[in-house]
Amino acid sequence: MKRNEMLRNFPPTFEDTGDEHAGSSVDTPLRDDAFEIGEDEKIQRIATHFKDIMEVLGLDLTDDSLKGTPLRVAKMYVKEVFSGLNPKNKPSVTLFENKFKYQEMIVEKDITFYSHCEHHFVPIFGKAHVAYISTGKVIGLSKINRIVQYFAKRPQVQERLTMQIAHEMMNSLNTEDVGVVMDANHLCVSSRGVSDTNSMTGTAFFSGKFKQDITKREFLNYINTQS
């Protein structure tokens, strides 16, 4: 199914209905003391607890293949797949003057992202498509990819991830004219539960000029165009 068909009946923004979906507020739910301990201590604590989980499951942690797993998992959680929780890792955004007075949308499509479902801590992966219309500044293209990756590297729901990317683009560029579309596979659907390996989830955020049918259609047509 084409994205413009899939998104035809989507609301123009999830802000209108976000609170009706469990856990879909724009901000990632974090405790106030989330960063009172350092990364090294977090790694040690997670490794200890993950070792307990493995032992409860009946695994033999004296086996050469398993004995290093708790520490490997802990490092992966803190340093890699959940590194977007730490605001220290937020990418700095470099803006440039729009010297060419370019008035049309700028689109970065097919941005690969990997995240984790906050309900089961299994992977979400897919493509993000981000567009904006400049109000005087433009952003380095690689920074759009980094913004997507930063917010993806958290326990997430796809609705929140879509909104966080859009809000960051709006705040960084001081523009209301932002569109974000995301298509993703959820392993909580494909590898457990109903075990449906064919379905994908689509989410979208349209703001400013992207709420206008002609601009929205141009964006959707563009991301459906084969490279």
Catalytic residue among 15, 39, 44, 118: 118
Residue 94 CA to residue 138 CA, distance in Å, equals 9
Q: Please, is 92 exposed, middle or buried when counting C-beta atoms within 10 Å of its C-beta (0-12, 13-18, 19+)?
A: exposed
**Is 117 assigned a catalytic role?**
yes
- The catalytically annotated residue of 15, 120, 176, 218 is 120
Active site residue 188: yes
Number of CB atoms found within 10 A of residue 183's CB: 19
49 is catalytic: no
Q: Which of 5, 97, 104, 119 is catalytic?
A: 119
* Of 108, 149, 156, 158, catalytic: 158
Q: Is 149 a catalytic residue?
A: no
Selected catalytic residue, list 116, 129, 167, 186 = 186
Total residue length of the chain? 227
Contact 151, 182 (CB under 8 A): no
Residue 118 annotated to the active site = yes
Of 135, 129, 206, the C-alpha closest to 167 is 206
Distance of alpha carbon 45 from alpha carbon 218, whole angstroms: 49
Catalytic choice (117, 129, 164, 167): 117
Q: What residues are annotated to the active site?
A: 117-120, 158, 186, 188
